[in-house]
Structure 1
Amino acid sequence: MTSTYAVLSEGLEKRFGQTRAVTGLDLAVPEGTVRGVLGPNGAGKTTAVRLLTTLLRPDAGSARVAGHDLVREAAAVRRAIGVTGQSTSVDGDLTGRQNLRLFARLHRVPGPDRRVGELLERMGLLEAADRAASTYSGGMLRRLDLAASLVRRPAVLFLDEPTTGLDPASRNDIWDAVRELKRQGTTVLLTTQYLEEADQLADDITLVDRGRAALTGTPAELKALVGAFAEAVVADPDALPRAAAVLDQLTGGKPSFDHERGAVGAISRRPGLTLPALVRELDAAGVPLLDASLRAPTLDEVFLRLTRNTDDTGNTDDTAGIGGTGDLKEAAA
């Protein structure tokens, strides 16, 4: 295990009775980066966070967080990390300032008032600092909760779906805070259900499925892995089946329909598809076109494609040649 990784786990496992929530999780998160962890509901993301933050004890495997062994040095791990969970940890009866002072005193932070003032200003909460937290909006509560996890300047910050339920403006505030933390050298492990969030913030993304890391790569690498997205928008809804047949033949992917727009699209499983070839084949099939496009897939499309195709070994159809590492960087090396 090397100190260049802020989080490094090998074969981490956790069972609850007959349920295997985490099944051999391997993670390697370099210091000073943001790692997005994505997966369908029940994939084991939150259990993995609870393991890595010492809230649960692993049944097998090993891990080091901020250079400390997860089991043998659990207290040192806790001193080195910050955690923002899915539910807020602040006291609604206390003001924002009082909440942060409480956390500062619990963590024995030197110069607590100065640190509290810094965090209130960074999170845009100075004007509301002396109001009861119960009067805060959802976005303000999440920012206060994030500030509480930063009181002692953690080396590694775990964010478990930190923007769930927030409006776009509040979500952008959290995103800005995460970007600033990265600039200051903090390592962030972020679980999220928002694919755009991972695309915006993460240096690398790990897709977790059935309790293990199925694949890791940058957003661009994951998008390139699944091929281009071909789409046709038709002038006559009756032509959608013909357009779908053309896309099926050209891409080898399963067509998906957007009946409201009169569109059909598919992710190409075959290299070399061009837009002129797509338009030519649609025209030959008598499809009246309003528009046709060939573009990089969104991260949402990548996520659905790769998690849908994951088999029981944790590999996907697209990663058969990766040698079982699930890491695009290792595959390219």
Structure 2
Amino acid sequence: MIRVSGLHKSYGPLDVLRGVDLEVARGSVFALLGSNGAGKTTIVRILATLLRPDAGTATVNGFDVVAQPARVRESISLTGQFAAVDEILTGRENLVMIARLRRVAAPRKVADDLLARFSLTDAGGRPVGTYSGGMRRRLDIAMSLIGDPPVIFLDEPTTGLDPEARIEVWDEIQKLAGVGTTVFLTTQYLEEAERLADRIAILHRGTIVVDGTLAALRELLPPATTELVERQPSLEEIFLSVVGSAKERS
């Protein structure tokens, strides 16, 4: 679904991408890992036709990102690091607006179906400014699905979200993959990639240094040894347990 070969991109004297090669299979979740400034967002922007590469080739859904940008845009949807929603409009109005812009038939029905799918029906009539971070991100992803694009780019979709909201977004990403959507995910959270991705690549100093399944990546390190250790619950586990118990009592 996505092929990248020899991709280069510089900003003045700064070489951000130095010959990136990668492939993403149709209907899979591909996670691109890298530290801040590694070039993850630059790759996404090139694949989404928002930025031209200096050299190399890239195709999405069989279309060249430079020679056929309009066809690429018809095939994709992009969700950036911050939810691109109108806070004054309601959740339903946001969805209807995007459906009309994409000339989708029956925009109100599409909006109601997506609100139900993302458990936002009760909040659909409220201004988005009243939504939690997790609700905004779920609405943002719902908006990106209008028109059923075969490829979705999620650029660090859980940055700034609390543990509960992150898990909500993870669940939605898994559902997307379950219905055959190709998901290209960038993240700094290793647990996120470990939980969601069929294949993982690590971007370092402008090139892909590792690319493979989680099982293949584990083989790069010495075999695991068995040790008896006392494991304390993590703070995230404590948080989710306490919040979950409080919800059940309310």
TM-score when scaled to structure 2? 0.89
**Corresponding residue number in structure 1 for 2:23:** 28
Q: Output the CA distance in 2 between the equivalents of 1:88 and 1:99.
A: 12
Aligned partners of 1:45 and 1:211 also within 8 Å: no
What residue identity is the alignment partner of 2:210?
Answer: L
Q: Quote the offset at 1:147 in angstroms.
A: 0.8
Instruction: Map residues 284-323 of structure 1 onto 2, 5 A cutoff.
Output: none
What residue identity is the alignment partner of 2:99?
Answer: A
Q: Please give the per-residue CA displacement for 1:23-82, whole angstroms capped at 9, x wherever unaligned.
A: 111110010000010011111101111111011011110111011111111011011101
What residue identity is the alignment partner of 2:195?
Answer: Q
Q: Quote the offset at 1:228 in angstroms.
A: 3.8
Q: Say yes or no: does 1:53 pair with 2:62.
A: no
Instruction: Map residues 161-310 of structure 1 onto 2, 5 A cutoff.
Output: 161-228=156-223
**Secondary structure of the structure 2 residue equivalent to 1:225:** coil
Q: Please give the per-residue CA displacement for 1:239-297, whole angstroms capped at 9, x wherever unaligned.
A: xxxxxxxxxxxxxxxxxxxxxxxxxxxxxxxxxxx65xxx9xxxxxxxxxxx569xxxx
**Secondary structure of the structure 2 residue equivalent to 1:213:** strand
Runs of 4+ deviating beyond 2 Å: none
When residues 180 and 292 of structure 1 are mapped into structure 2, their CA distance, relative to the original with a 3 A threshold, is closer
Q: Output the CA distance in 2 between the equivalents of 1:127 and 1:60.
A: 49
Instruction: Map residues 59-208 of structure 1 onto 2, 5 A cutoff.
Output: 59-208=54-203
What residue identity is the alignment partner of 1:203?
Answer: D
Q: Output the CA distance in 1 between the equivalents of 2:65 and 2:130.
A: 38
Q: Say yes or no: does 1:7 pair with 2:2.
A: yes
CA radius of gyration, larger in: 1
Q: Please give the per-residue CA displacement for 1:84-137, whole angstroms capped at 9, x wherever unaligned.
A: 100111111100000111111111111211211111111111000010011101
**Corresponding residue number in structure 2 for 1:268:** none
Q: Output the CA distance in 1 between the equivalents of 2:85 and 2:191.
A: 27
**Secondary structure of the structure 2 residue equivalent to 1:15:** strand
Q: Output the CA distance in 1 between the equivalents of 2:4 and 2:161.
A: 31
**Corresponding residue number in structure 1 for 2:14:** 19
Q: Please give the per-residue CA displacement for 1:146-196, whole angstroms capped at 9, x wherever unaligned.
A: 111111111100000101111222111111111111111100000011111
Aligned partners of 1:64 and 1:70 also within 8 Å: yes
The CA RMSD measured in Å over matched residues stands at: 1.5
Q: Structure 2: any 5+ residue segments left out of the alignment?
A: 231-250
If asked which structure has higher relative contact order (CA below 8 Å, sep 6+), I would say 2
**Corresponding residue number in structure 2 for 1:321:** none
**Corresponding residue number in structure 1 for 2:239:** none
Q: Output the CA distance in 2 between the equivalents of 1:186 and 1:37.
A: 17
TM-score when scaled to structure 1? 0.67
**Secondary structure of the structure 2 residue equivalent to 1:164:** coil
When residues 174 and 292 of structure 1 are mapped into structure 2, their CA distance, relative to the original with a 3 A threshold, is closer
**Corresponding residue number in structure 1 for 2:244:** none
Q: Output the CA distance in 1 between the equivalents of 2:82 and 2:62.
A: 28
Identical aligned residues as a percent: 51
Q: Output the CA distance in 2 between the equivalents of 1:121 and 1:13.
A: 42
Q: Quote the offset at 1:223 in angstroms.
A: 1.3
